[in-house]
Amino acid sequence: MTTAEDHKSDGIGKDLIVYVCLLALAGLQFVIAYQNIDASQMFTRMLAVACIEAGLAVLFFMHLWTEKRAFLLFVVIFTVGVLLGMQYGWTDSFRMVTGTPFAK
Amino acid sequence: MSQADLTIGHPTGQTLGPAFAIPTKKLAMWLFIIADTMTFAACLVAYGFLRNGTPDWPRPFHSITNVAIMTFILLTSSLTMLIGLRSARAGDKAAAFRWTMITAALGIVFAFLHIREWMGLIDEGMTMFKNPWGTGLFGASFFSITGLHLTHVTGGVIALLVVGVRYKGGRYNADDIEVLGLYWHFVDLVWMFVVPLVYLLNLTH
């Protein structure tokens, strides 16, 4: 599947570096959890770190980086597009608390 | 997989590659992963929606020790999976089998810790529909999301055992290890979002 050249060119060293980076980023999430900040800021920071972790895992552990560019673009654009599409209803969750705009 | 499997003969003598020039099994796994991403994303968005819209959302977690160990184990299992794949690519069958089994063992430890944590919460009075700390929605969303992830881990462990044994027996090859590896890394990837959203945002301060 992946060519032999691909595997020769990037040794176990790169995998170890990515692994250590993922451990560090996971640790950073735990540090953020104990920061004295409000929940929305905490959520934003943790989600940002999780997205970086996911990017590293997909590109290097799952070897998407060495796949054809067309496939990489397909996966990224399609996935990000659908995930963004899921965010349309967030304002409704505030309405559950505030009762607006429909409550009088 | 031979080059003949990867290409389709053409009357002009040229060859046409499969879609995106990657093998069918790998493409199928990627499509499954994309579809499964939507499942988990829908669950996590629904969870965020409920958490955002519920004033008495509980924060039952007192310690991060267990979830930190679980995260370390799952991340390490991704590394062992990669080492197993490299061994398989290098033709070292014994090492590939050994690392695949180590990955499965780490998955079993993760599942054990997960169930132990569940039992602790259940002992404290948490069920799918009620808990002592706040809205009953918490139990439903917590058990649904972590349960879905645990199901994936369990399925992955079974697949690791089956593929590992069959690889050792010569029925499967390095490509099958690679396809299974994609799934295992995906399970790891999902955990990276479950931990902050479900555990860390609900820590007792």
In this structure, is residue A101 part of a structural domain?
A: no
Say yes or no to pLDDT of A4 above 50: no
> Mean pLDDT across the stretch B129-136?
88
Amino acid at residue number A59: L
Model confidence, pTM: 0.86
Q: Does one domain contain both A52 and A72?
A: no
For each of the domains in chain B, give its residue range(s) and CATH number, in order of start: 71-205 (1.20.120.80)
Q: Does one domain contain both A55 and A73?
A: no
Query: What pLDDT, in 10s, does the model give residues A41-52?
Result: 999 999 999 999
Amino acid at residue number B158: I
Length of chain A: 104
Say yes or no to pLDDT of A3 above 90: no
B192–A57 CB contact, under 8 Å: yes
Lowest mean pLDDT among B8-12, B15-19, B153-157: B8-12
How many domains does one find in chain A?
2
Q: Does one domain contain both A57 and A73?
A: no
In this structure, is residue A100 part of a structural domain?
A: no
Q: Does one domain contain both A53 and A4?
A: yes
| Residue B148: pLDDT band with limits 50, 70, 90 | very high
B5 inside 8 A of chain A by CB: no
Q: Does one domain contain both A40 and A77?
A: no
Q: What are phi and psi of B8, to 5 degrees?
A: -115, 130
Q: Does one domain contain both A13 and A45?
A: yes
Predicted pLDDT at A58: 94
8 Å CB contact between B48 and B125: no
Sign of torsion over alpha carbons B11, B17, B20, B25? positive
Q: Does one domain contain both A16 and A35?
A: yes
The ipTM value here is 0.86
Q: Does one domain contain both A74 and A26?
A: no
Say yes or no to pLDDT of A104 above 60: no
Integer Cα distance of A45 and A36 in angstroms: 13
Taking contacts as CB-CB distances below 8 angstroms, the residues of chain A near B189 are 53-54, 57-58
Say yes or no to pLDDT of B66 above 50: yes
In this structure, is residue A14 part of a structural domain?
A: yes
Domain that holds residue A83: 67-93
Say yes or no to pLDDT of A99 above 80: no
* Distance of residue A103 Cα from the nearest chain B Cα, in angstroms: 15
